[in-house]
Amino acid sequence: MLSVAIVVVPEAFPHSIIEPLDVFSRCQTIYSKRTGQTVDQKPLVALVGETRDLSIEFNGIRIAPTDDVSGQQKFDVIWIPSLMIDERLTYRSRKKMIRWIREQASHGAEIACVCTGAFLLAETGLLNHRQTTLHWSFSDLFSDTYPLPQVKPHVPLTSDGNIHCAAADSEWITLASAILERRFGKVFSAKTAEMFVFNGYKRVNGRVFETRFVNQTKDAIIAKTQAWIAEHISEENLISRAAIEFGLSESALARRFKSAHRESVINFIQHVRIERAKEALEMTKLPVERISDLVGYRDSSYFRRLFKIKTGMTPKQYRKHCSA
C-alpha cells in the first residue's frame, strides 16, 4: 500500500494541500471509472501537522491535520506543499515538523516538494549538496538563505536520490503522477493525471517539459527544439546550442523552424522571454534589470525597447497596469 503524508503548516497554500490530497485519495477511483479495471490497494493519505490543533483557515476553508508528528507511522512519501514566503521566514519556527521530515527521510521515505516548499525542506538539511528547483523569482532569496543546495530554477522538475522537486505550483500534477507511476505503472498514472491537466506537459526522451510554448507541429525535431529553448531561455547562444543539441546546422534549424511555424526561431525566443518577463513583472518586485537578466537579456536597455515593441508598454508601465 502506498502511504502519503501531506505536510500541513500555517505557511502552506491551501490549494497545494488540497490538490495532491484529491489526487492521491481518489486515484484508484478515477482509474477504475476510466478503464473499468481495479487496483487492489487504495493509497493511504494523511494530513500531518505539528499538532492536530494547528489548522489552516483561508477564505472560509479550514484544513485540519488528521495526524501529528508524534505518531509512529512511517510513510512512503512526504509531500511538502508550496509556502507563502516573506521576509520573516516564519516556517523556520516549525522545529517539530522539520525534525519529523528528517526522521521520515531517514526511514526511507521519498520527499516530494512543490515550489517554495523547498525552503522548509532546505531547513531540514536534506537538500545540502543536492539538486533542487523552485520558481525562479525566489531563487535569489533561496540561494542567499541556503547556499549549499544546487538550485536549478529554470528546470521544471529535479530528482536527486529520494528527493523530487517541482519548480512551480502548476507542475504539482507532474510530480504526483511520477509518484503514481513508480508505484502503479505508467498507464495508471497517465489515466489519473489526465483528469487534472489538459495537455500541460509532455515527455521528450523520458524528460518532462513545459508545453505551453510548444506549438503543434508534425516536425518532431522542431517540437523538441521549442521545449529545449523554453527550458534554457535564460541562457545565451540558444540557436547555435539548439542546433548542436539536435544535430542540425543553424541554417537548417532556422529553415525547418520557419517552415513548421511560419515564425523565425528568433521571434520564438523573443516571445518566450517576453512572456516570462511579464510573469515576473506581475508576480514579483524584482527590478527590471534583474528580470532582464533572468529571461536572457544581459542588456537591460535592449530588453526595455523590445518589451515596449512587443507589448506597447514599458516594463514599468506594464507592472503598474497589472497592479492597478
Query: What pLDDT digit, counting tens, does each position of 77-131 carry?
Result: 999 999 998 888 999 999 999 999 999 999 999 999 999 999 999 999 999 999 9
Q: For the chain, what percentages of helix, strand and coil (3-state, to nearest 5) are there?
A: 50, 15, 35
CATH of domain 267-323: 1.10.10.60
Closest alpha carbon to 3 in 131, 90, 108: 108
pLDDT for the residue 200: 42
Query: What pLDDT digit, counting tens, does each position of 42-81 carry?
Result: 889 999 999 998 888 777 778 999 999 998 899 999 999 9
Say whether pLDDT at 290 is over 50.
yes
Residue 126 identity: L
Say whether pLDDT at 210 is over 70.
no
pLDDT for the residue 198: 45
Domain ranges of the chain: 3-193, 201-263, 267-323
3-state secondary structure of 89: coil
CB atoms within 10 A of CB 10: 16
C-alpha distance from residue 73 to each of 5, 44, 80 (Å): 10, 11, 17
Cα-flanking dihedrals φ and ψ of residue 145, to 5°? -80, -35
Strands (E), 122-180: 131-132, 150-151, 157-160, 163-166
Cα-flanking dihedrals φ and ψ of residue 141, to 5°? -60, -40
Q: What's the whole-number average pLDDT of the chain?
A: 86
Q: Which three cell numbers stand for residue 54?
A: 494547528
Q: How many CA within 13 A on the CB side of residue 9?
A: 28
CATH superfamily entry for domain 3-193: Class I glutamine amidotransferase (GATase) domain (3.40.50.880)
